[in-house]
A and B are shown apart, each in its own frame.
Chain A
Amino acid sequence: MRIVLSIFCLGAVLAGCRSDVREDRWLAMDTEFSVTLHGRGKISPEKAFAVLHAEASRLEQRFSDYLPGSDLNRLRGEAGDTLRPDAEQALLFGLAESLSLGSHGRFDVTLGRLKHAYGLGSGEVNRVPSEAEIAHILQDNPVFQGDTVLVKPPFHLLPDGRLAILRDSLEFDFGAIAKGYTIGRLSTLLDSMGFRAHLVSAGGDMFCGGEKPKGSWRVGIRHPRLADSVCGVLKFDSSMAISTSGDYERCFFVNGVRYHHILDPSTGKPARPYCAVTVIGRGSLIADGLSTTLFVVGPERAGALLKTYSAEALWIRENPDASLCAIVSPGFTKHLKSLSIPPCKRS
């Protein structure tokens, strides 16, 4: 009898043993970072978190557009100059140029003036610029000439790693790719510290690293119009980067019209009609950059970009009657376990 009781108690205690999951959250890059570790690594989770904090802080200092002394803000030049970015900066400039070329100018990391015109920078007061003001800003931008979008970005990364500046007074804004790069860096560091199964998230963009000890990674997609609800669930059995760009982040309303931070370089206005785009891919840097790009580009012209970067995407469109509908690339459905938004009707 005593043996039976002992086995019962041992079973009860063992059943109560929870998996080794540790979580940390902190603020950096004007957003919230969170890291979840599954299992043990070569060092304690506390030491690992300290390493991650330091790395996020380093990268914020490097790529922030709102810290006056950031490395990015010091990288200035006039047309005709060539600058010498380091390898880390060159990687981001290379992707920015590639996305700009691939999207025919719809992705642009030099829209700083336009962003400030809307008061969308950190700590700025929101406002709607006049048509004349927008036109003036776009006039200074040689990527656009009338209705024709030239494919040449106002900078070019030379084969020897130097950066050729093709326009005066360029302001670089890596807001669409810096978070993704940082997530990737933190994930790489976690791998090196032995924490193979981890989830790194920054402001809604995330990377599920490795295989979860129990079950699959399950990631919800925020409902674009219901802040506390998810409209879909994604499931992954191995590493995957997920990034969403939505018009509900950094937005304001004037006369019932939503003005948001994803600006269409061809119009100088917030991109429409999509209200959210979720991209899944192998790397968080590319997923981050692509989600912004595809938000502007739309699904009709996204095929080449998705193929180039081996990514998949979901677009949620807001119709004139305020209803929502979804467009999903073929490979996305493989990971989509549920979606409560109906498919868009073919036009």
Chain B
Amino acid sequence: MNPRVQPRLFRPLDGLLIALILVSAAWTLPWMRTAIGKTAIVKVSGKKVMRLDLKGPERYAMVMGSEGPIDLEWGEKGVRVLKAPCANPICVRTGFILHQGNRIVCVPSRLEVEVVSGAGSIASLDGVTF
């Protein structure tokens, strides 16, 4: 009786496949990190009212929420709500947000601020007219 031939666990080509997988995985790692956003979108009642460029010196603006004026500050540190006409201003206590996907929501004022991947930032544009 012939001895039973055990299948080999690895063959030479498998090494190449594994290497390819590892390289692919390493390549996609930077995409999986939560990157610093370059732009923040400000919406009131679901309507976009401002697009803030998160670079350069601090800047300030006021947007009109449904309960009254809301003061915003933005710059390299991110964007934050400085002052809001809410009894319990959670949005103010949130402080700065800077990373893609971070959000500040002020329900009474129907305000949303979201840091996005840079859509609208100079880097994501085909060109800038000046």
**Which A residues lie at the B interface, using CB under 8 A?**
2, 5-6, 8-9, 12-13, 16, 34, 36, 199, 201, 203-206, 208, 212, 217-222, 226, 228-230, 233-234, 242-244, 246, 248-249, 278, 337-338, 340
Contact = CB atoms under 8 A, between A and B. Distances in A.
Interface in B49-77: 50-53, 55-56
Given A2-B14, A5-B17, A5-B21, A226 B56 contact: yes
A221 B129 CA distance: 5
Pick from A212, A220, A244 the residue with the most CB of B within 10 Å.
A220
29 contacts: A5-B17, A5-B21, A8-B21, A9-B17, A9-B21, A12-B28, A16-B24, A16-B27, A36-B126, A201-B127, A208-B126, A218-B124, A219-B126, A219-B127, A219-B128, A219-B129, A220-B128, A220-B129, A221-B129, A221-B130, A222-B128, A226-B56, A229-B53, A233-B125, A243-B129, A244-B129, A338-B48, A338-B51, A340-B50
A205 B129 contact: yes
B129 A229 contact: no
Contacts of A201: 127
Pick from A199, A234, A340 the residue with the most CB of B within 10 Å.
A340
A167 B68 CA distance: 61
Interface string B16-27: 010011001001
Classify the secondary structure of A's interface with B.
Answer: strand
A204 B126 contact: no
B51 A220 contact: no
A12 B128 contact: no
A248 B17 CA distance: 56
A100 to B, nearest CB: 24
Contacts of A218: 124-126
A334 B106 CA distance: 30
Nearest to A228: B56
Given A8-B21, A9-B21, A204 B128 contact: yes
Pick from B20, B52, B122, B127 the residue with the most CB of A within 10 Å.
B127
Given A219-B128, A220-B129, A230 B56 contact: no
